[in-house]
Structure 1
Amino acid sequence: MTLDRIRPSHVEGWVVELLRKGLAESTIRSAYTVLRAILDTAVRDGAMTTTPSAAVRRPKVKSKEATHLTPTQVAELLSAAHQSRYATLFELLVHTGLRRGEALSLRWSDVDLDRGTLRVRGTLARIDGALLVTEPKTAKSQRVVPLSDPAAELLRNVQHVQATERQLAGSTWHETGFVFTTGTGEPCDPRNALRAFKAAAARAGIPDASLHTLRHSAACVMLTHGVPLKVVSDILGHSSIAITVDVYGHVSPTNSGTRWPPWAPC
């Protein structure tokens, strides 16, 4: 349609059509936001006198409680994944709340074990058949994440294992600088990590769990142990604290005095 013919009813009809197609509520709201920005620009440039989308209510997204695991379930899942190459990756995710691609994109230059921090700079994904590190999900996704003592010790163990594998691989080793690698130093494929996780989750009796479930579980543990919502939002790399509230607003601190991390064996 040409700009001069667009009416609010057309925008409403478009939103309804997206709903009929089965798109997620968050996707529809994002699409509406993009359309409104385009039409606002047209008004600014004099191509339209008013923005038709301004008269249409912004699509709502129903708040959903994030699916997360209990400390016992996390312990059982990590135990089931013990023999997997990706066991340390899963453990780091549940310690830090990183996204899968963020953790797989980590290089040793991003990790400061002396200060107990790591820096998220991008996300690893397979694009057109190649593994590439791309820009993170949002501007706030580029962040510094604190490491607990167990998480720092975990990464020290990864360093030790990687050094051993480097020696064993000899001339076949490719020095890429990644924290999580194959036996020859190449970055790990996110799809292989997902397959390994699903196999471990099935063995642990929680087949519906996903890698993102570990991120949610980490956030819930932080909040129940009294970490402020704003701090958790920054650690997770949410674009605003409102997102953190929407997803985790139901989680309350507890004074149970449980050990940290709560899924560690006694």
Structure 2
Amino acid sequence: MSTSHAMLTALKAFHLDNPEATFEELTEHLRDIAVNALEQPQGDVYGLVLSDLAEGLAEAEHSASLTVAQAKALKLAYQVLRAHRDRVEGNVGPLVDLLEGPLGDPIGKGYQDQLTNRDSGLSVSLSVSAPQVPATASLSACEAGSKAVAYMDLFDAYMVERGGDMAPATVKNLTSSAKTVATLLGEGLDMRSHTRADMVRLRDALLVDRKPSTVNKLLTTVGTLTAWGVATGLIDRDFAKKLNIAKGAESERQAFTAGQIKELTRACSTGHLRDDWKGRALALGVATGARIGEIHQLHGCDFIQGEDGQWAVSINDDNGKTLKNSYSRRIVPLVGIPEATLKALAGTNGRIFKMSMSGFSAQLNTVIRDLLGTVTGEGLSFHSLRHSMASDLKVEGVLLGVSQEILGHSSGSITYDLYGKGSGVDLGRLREALELVR
């Protein structure tokens, strides 16, 4: 049995690491996760990124020894992850369907009972493995009106109400973040009378020794807490909105030069990597600008050849795959990849790249450094291929909408129809754009 960290983490998150567990026990835990996703749609499961969990489950399906109960529950876990992602995007329907169907807890019964109990003032823990939050007296709105409310006071009150539904990892992360913020704000700051200037100073202080992306995550938790404080009457102002940093927050990686792209293409198409899995993965990255996780999850059936002989790849969330968001579903024409390579990819049964995500990423980035003579820390990695595609399309004057369709930033309502037939997006336009740069 494989013991990669990603796979073990995913199995533990869903209690699939216990071969003695019955299907009913595993289903009960999945139900808890689904209910938690309805109430705490923070975009993770027990503090773990959804896409990472899906990749870990996919690896387990491929290489782990599973009982019948574990195998059945693993399939359900995929559905829970996909429904949780939809919940993050504002669609609660799939989670409700699961709770009314295979997870066996009709909304009209168990979940509604929980909501009723909460409305009546009772504290209900939704997860059998949820941490026990100290039963300290919650700060009431009346109390808040008579004394100063420090940031940690607000946090403690929030955790009394919401902490029982959180996993230990989530509680630990939130507590650590709260202490960091509280220290920078200062114990003397009364959140009832905090100002916009206080929040701006907090952001500036966080930026001193942290990356913009990390600061944005911390500010998001601050915003969640202050918004909850206003909604519950503990404080009457919220100045934590619109603090996020745009410049430098997305990525510090650079784009490859035209010469570097040519060198990578040569190695994959006619060089020593042509028949190597690393060369095929690299060729797909160069040709599509797809995210490394999207390429790692590809199946042979995702490669499509049209009636005109042209090839394309479908980036989707079928067969247990996950995407960053619904906008990421797309079909991308394939330009510059040898026909023999495409046929080999399309002829693969199941997943093409069967190693763990961590191994996949590490080996590809090592190959890139070896080919180009770069070193770790220079900002060039597999993800730089995505930056390069976006940059090159812009330089060639390609319309923004076309670039978005290629990179998976376009509207999720678009229906793709292969090579422009019918009413779908004209993939011929996408191919023309790609031929300008690849």
Residue in structure 1 matched with residue 216 of structure 2 by the alignment: 29
Q: What is the CA–CA distance in structure 2 between the aligned matches of 1:152 and 1:69, rounded to whole Å?
A: 22
Counterpart residue type for residue 147 of structure 1:
P
What pairs up with 1:84-163 in 2 under 5 angstroms? Answer: 84=273, 85=276, 86-114=278-306, 116-121=311-316, 135-141=322-328, 143-151=329-337, 153=339, 154-159=341-346
CA shift in 2, pair 1:201/1:223, >3 Å: same
Pick from 339, 343, 353 the counterpart of residue 180 of structure 1.
Answer: 353
CA contact (8 A) 2:265 2:286 kept: no
Q: Deviations over 1:9-61 (max 9, x none)?
A: 6534432332122x22233234323421332233223332221425xx62433
Q: Who is 1:83 aligned against?
A: 272
Map of 1:188-227 to 2, 5 A cutoff? 189-202=360-373, 209-227=380-398
| TM-score, length of structure 2 as denominator length | 0.41
Structure with larger Rg: 2
SS at match of 1:14: helix
Give the match's secondary structure for 1:39. helix
C-alpha separation between the residues in 2 aligned to 1:117 and 1:35?
43
Counterpart code for 1:29: N
SS in structure 1 at match of 2:435 = coil
Where has structure 1 moved over 4 Å in runs of 4 or more?
A: 63-66
Q: Partners in 2 of 1:262 and 1:180 — Cα distance?
A: 26
Selected match of 2:399 from 213, 228, 240: 228
Query: Where in structure 2 are there 5+ consecutive unaligned residues?
Result: 1-151, 155-188, 412-431
Report the RMSD for the aligned CA atoms in angstroms. 3.7
> Which residue identity is paired with 1:178?
R
Q: Mapping of 1:31-70 within 5 angstroms?
A: 31-54=218-241, 58-62=243-247, 67-70=254-257
2:253 and 2:261 map into 1 onto residues whose CA distance is 15
Give the SS at the match of 2:207. helix
What SS is found at the alignment partner of 1:178? Answer: coil
Indicate how the Cα distance of structure 1 residues 48 and 120 shifts in structure 2: closer, same or farther if over 3 A, else same. Answer: farther
Go from structure 1 to structure 2 and tell me whether the alpha carbon gap of 1:34 and 1:258 turns closer, same or farther (over 3 Å shift).
closer
Rounded to whole Å, the distance in 1 between the matches of 2:239 and 2:267 is 55
TM-score norm. by structure 1 comes to: 0.63
Aligned-partner Cα distance in 2 for 1:144–1:239: 9
Aligned position for 2:19: none
Structure 1 residues 13 and 239, CA, compared in 2 at 3 Å: closer, same or farther?
farther
Task: For residue 95 of structure 1, report the CA deviation from its aligned partner.
Answer: 0.9
Structure 1: give runs of 5+ residues left out of the alignment: 123-132, 163-174, 241-256
Give 1:16's aligned residue.
204
Q: For the Cα contact (< 8 Å) 2:260–2:372, is it kept in 1?
A: no
Please state whether the residue corresponding to 2:353 is helix, strand or coil.
coil
* Number of residue pairs the alignment of both structures matches: 213
- Say whether the 8 Å CA contact 2:291–2:386 is kept in structure 1: yes
Q: What do the CA deviations read for 1:190-229 (whole angstroms, capped 9, x no partner)?
A: 22222222211218xxx76321221122223333444321
